[in-house]
Chains A and B, each alone.
Chain A
């Protein structure tokens, strides 16, 4: 562009300059060394050209007091002739100018000046195009960042801010996200049912991002509402299944589904009777007082929301004084160990047997350490909910309760 401008005028120097409040900057130059390419707006000829309507011409700078302050006139290369056409966008913004300079005074033909104006118009069009493109990219980035912020906010609302205090029970939960940007669909809650019974659940909605977050919200509220209606754990999962199937009815998108465990806690002397139903979810793990690990597995329970006539199973066990129960999402057991194998339920059980956590807090700490040790081997979010009954709880007043919640 600048060499074309120089050729049209048979002049040695041509530049394209852009102005801001302070500076006139060269975007392209022909016949001018880079060190001379930037000048203060206050003294630059280019600044005058930008505000000028039409082509600005100084046939001899020595005869024009406006030009004498320009460093290119005063010093190197000693400009005597200057012609410039302003670069004006379609909405009237003056961005800079296309300039032609010579070191001897001269005249320009009207044809040369018209060509210079045409060149400036071409530059304006090009700059506008780039500006629009970069604005579009910026707007898109902004939208994306906004959506991610929204999804993260939504996710925070999906997890209870704090677990309630349940008399005689110690409960703790944690959420281990893999990425700060991408939202997973893990969820859990612990809440009062009728009488002195308590409901709890933990699960994982398929997919990631804002859609998964919205679905997680539906799942969480459906589980709580269904439990009010009929707290039988299998009935609660069947109810959730019906809601998800209806949510999908008529849609051609892949059907959303989730896996979950739902349980009811019933105080029973110095512990709790636990009824746990599962739908397509990995078994919960019970750490008994003596350190043995038992899988609490409603065997055969199927995915929720996607199957015809799904089967949900439930099992009953007892949470005795000194026992601790761990519910987790599959991000944990699908993690890869250093050897490259999946951790699996067996690996998790073996780890817990060695760590011998006695309380819900201990369990969470153990899982936290395990996830930290697995490092890059963890590729999916993990939510954990731990419930324990303090050992020797007969010595502790019944109304005393423990509760904690951490999010890492």
Chain B
């Protein structure tokens, strides 16, 4: 677990699959290396699932969006599935305008995202 006053990235090992990465706080160019590092540390096996729980996200800038896009690409490379949970409706709206709804599946809660990957 890495901790800072403005962004926390926590990996919660789930009993079975999928892995759940909880990201809370401001995701911007200052804090994004923490998310990237946490993603780099993950081992994604083919067929595995990864949920990124963003319900505690308070801000997301363009570098945050890039980091989530590379998370998707990492999952894709590993043959794993990625689901985003708890995104603020305003951010989902921005993601839709950017055409990112073709990349990500959005779920209200981490539980629903986990269920979608099982």
Contact = CB atoms under 8 A, between A and B. Distances in A.
Given A306-B69, A307-B69, A279 B63 contact: no
Interface stretch (B2-10, B96-104, B110-118): B96-104
B102 A308 contact: no
Interface residues of A, number: 23
Contact of B73 (A207, A259, A303, A308): A308
Given A206-B62, A307-B69, A342-B90, A254 B99 contact: no
A219 B11 CA distance: 38
A302 B62 contact: no
Name the residue among B62, B66, B100 with the largest chain A CB count within 10 angstroms.
Answer: B62
B15 to A, nearest CB: 32
B99 to A, nearest CB: 3
B66 A280 contact: no
A181 to B, nearest CB: 18
Contact of B98 (A254, A303, A334, A344): A303
A282 interface: yes
A281 interface: yes
A279 B62 CA distance: 15
Interface in A289-318: 300-303, 306-308, 310-311
A300 B31 CA distance: 29
A342 B94 CA distance: 11
Interface string B50-68: 0000000000001101110
Contacts of A342: 90
B29 interface: yes
A298 to B, nearest CB: 10
Contact of A302 (B76, B94, B102): B102
Contacts of A375: none
B63 A311 contact: no
Main SS class of interface, B: helix
Contacts of A361: none
Contacts of A344: 93
A257 interface: yes
Contacts of A257: 62, 66
Given A254-B29, A342-B90, A280 B99 contact: yes
Interface string A327-351: 0001000100000001010000000
B75 interface: no
Contacts of B73: 308
| Residue with the highest number of chain A CB atoms closer than 10 Å, among B73, B76, B94, B99 | B99
Given A255-B66, A280-B98, A301-B99, 6 more contacts: A280-B97, A300-B102, A302-B102, A303-B65, A307-B103, A334-B94
